[in-house]
Amino acid sequence: PSAALALLGSSAAAMVVWKWLGNRQIQKKMEEARRTRDEGVKKMAKVVQQFREQVPSVQTDAILSLPLMELTRRLREGSLSPKTVLYMYLEKALEVTRQTNCLRHFIPECEEQLQEIQRQEEKGLLYGIPVSIKDHIGHKGHLSTCGLVQCLGSVAQEDSVLVKVLKRQGAIPFAMTNVPQSLFSYDCSNPTFGQTLHPFNPQKSPGGSSGGEGALIAGGGSILGIGSDIGGSIRLPSSFCGLCGLKPTAERLSTRLLNVDVCSRPAPVPCAVGPMARDVDSLALCMKALLCQEMFRLDPTVPPIPFDEEVYSSSAPLRVGYYDTDGYFPLPPCMRRAVQETRGALQAAGHQLVPFSPPRIHYVMTELFLKTFFADGGRTWLDVFTGGIVDPSLKPQVNGCKIPRLGKKLLALILRPLQFLLLLLKLKNVATISTCRSVKEMWNHHHEIQAYRTEFIARWRELQLDVVLCPVLGPAFTTGYPGKLLTAISSTMLYNVLNFPAGVVPVSTVTEADEEELKLYRGCCDDPWDRTLKQAVAGAAGLPVAVQCVALPWRDELCLRFMKEVETLSREK
């Protein structure tokens, strides 16, 4: 017995030492990644300083304030040089990331690309335009981390198709932006590179998962960015930061050589990549540049459908469906006000407005969207958290996934008599989310998603709608709150399940009257969930307020055309 006890004790000690050594290795990798990032920032600051010394008379604000359409015109005609534009944006990006921690890494090869575009025989549609890209969009020679420790050694061996096409069109990718850990969050924080802050209010989050893009572009450090969206990850940062952002039909742009597999992105609800910018014309130009023969050649899975300029430029009146709540998660008063005011402006401009109600959102949220991600109870997702290192913003979801299936059922049973049923239903993603227990159940789940899409399109067709105007989550949350309110994203998540193109346009700002009305907000029934939302959005006076514009699949140009109409009317107002 004494020998057995000694053996057991030594085994336990060895296990503790082994775990400590593993954690130490992880910490070293994280420290090395931060050190590499910081050295890159210092090198870029030095390069910018040298340029400043050579050309001290450059008018920074005059260049940075130019809209993308005007900037491309001046670059193409030669009145501005790509070198000057690049270094001005590098300088501004340095300033913005010092304030917000939005950059994961500068791309030093941008100077090589600067030389390359000057050797190109034809000037592409994005000639000389500095472009920022989200962390997991592969760029040769750089990490693609998804905010995960396990990916700190995953250096891309070649450019993603998106980056290749951007370069072919004359763009200059110059920075990769920060993301939340595993991309499965609409905050923007990970254990390696830290929390990204809102450019207008450091107490607030820029949104996620394309939060680094949102902060950089809104802060003026980039004029055009590429993000990705599987539950609102382009639209939520655009809403929080006051940008225009488009989630196209998922298959419209290539996702080849993006680091999405590690984050278990499932096929029934596909990942879409799309542009983020200051105005809708910039989004349209980016889509026009990307939807070219080079993309169709590099990725044959992308349908060869060029950008339809005629649809985007049309001025024909639209038949617009609208709603200001989806009946699942009541949004703050200012977001509903934005829809109501935009509806009135559209009606006054000659468009036909028709009330529309999306069907069965509670079913979509729990049985279609969340069940897709957690079909195996979240086990695949949990596997990506190397060494058990979990960002605080994700702990509610991670802890919920760790509860055994039987434990979840018992928890639901125990809490039911304690009148926490409604809260529990809203927290289904944490404690009682449905799973697929067999291959047959998974096939049935896929069929249910297709059946819902058919049902939704039938209702759309019945009302003869061209587009839909609806709310988007906002205004910007206080940091740390997105992790407590996962199911608040029902407004954006719906159009990922449907795979409809959807975009966000800022139309207003939070007023003092909105803040006063928020004090009276009760949500569904003033439960803890509703009170948490109220706390999350409080103190947002002056921050952007946006609406969401939606079209049917493959009608991305019509979605952009509708977004442009909303933008024009809001600016006139």
Residues recognised as catalytic: 134, 209, 233
SS3 277: strand
Does the annotation list 233 as a binding residue? yes
Among the listed residues 516, 539, 534, 514, the one whose alpha carbon sits nearest the alpha carbon of residue 524: 534
Does the annotation list 124 as a binding residue? no
CB contact at 8 A, 292 and 306: yes
Among the listed residues 389, 387, 374, 161, the one whose alpha carbon sits nearest the alpha carbon of residue 264: 374
Looking only at the bridges linking them, the beta strands covering 319-322 and 467-470 are parallel
- In eight-state DSSP terms, residue 567 is H
67 burial (CB, 10 Å; 0-12 / 13-18 / 19+) is: middle
Tokens 């024909």 locate to 316
Q: Which two three-digit tokens encode residue 85?
A: 């534009």
CB contact at 8 A, 220 and 64: yes
Tokens 């699949």 locate to 553
For residues 281 and 269, give the distance between their C-alpha atoms in angstroms, rounded to a whole number. Answer: 28
For residues 23 and 5, give the distance between their C-alpha atoms in angstroms, rounded to a whole number. Answer: 27
Alpha helices in 233-332 (DSSP H): 235-241, 280-290, 293-298, 309-313
The end-to-end CA distance of the chain, in Å, is 84
Q: Is the peptide bond before 359 cis (omega within 30 degrees of 0)?
A: no
CB contact at 8 A, 455 and 358: no
Which amino acid appears at position 357 of this protein? S
CB contact at 8 A, 507 and 548: no
Does the annotation list 209 as a binding residue? yes
Q: Which two three-digit tokens encode residue 375?
A: 């079909």
E strands in 230-285: 244-247, 272-277
Does the annotation list 230 as a binding residue? yes
DSSP of 80-132, one letter per residue? S-HHHHHHHHHHHHHHHHHHH--EEEE-TTHHHHHHHHHH-SS--TTTT-EEE
Q: Is the peptide bond before 491 cis (omega within 30 degrees of 0)?
A: no
Which amino acid appears at position 153 of this protein? G
Does the annotation list 223 as a binding residue? no
Q: Give the number of residues written for the chain.
A: 573
For residues 273 and 255, give the distance between their C-alpha atoms in angstroms, rounded to a whole number. Answer: 7
Tokens 């394309």 locate to 210
Q: Return binding residues.
A: 183, 209, 230-233
Show binding-site residues for substrate.
Answer: 183, 209, 230-233
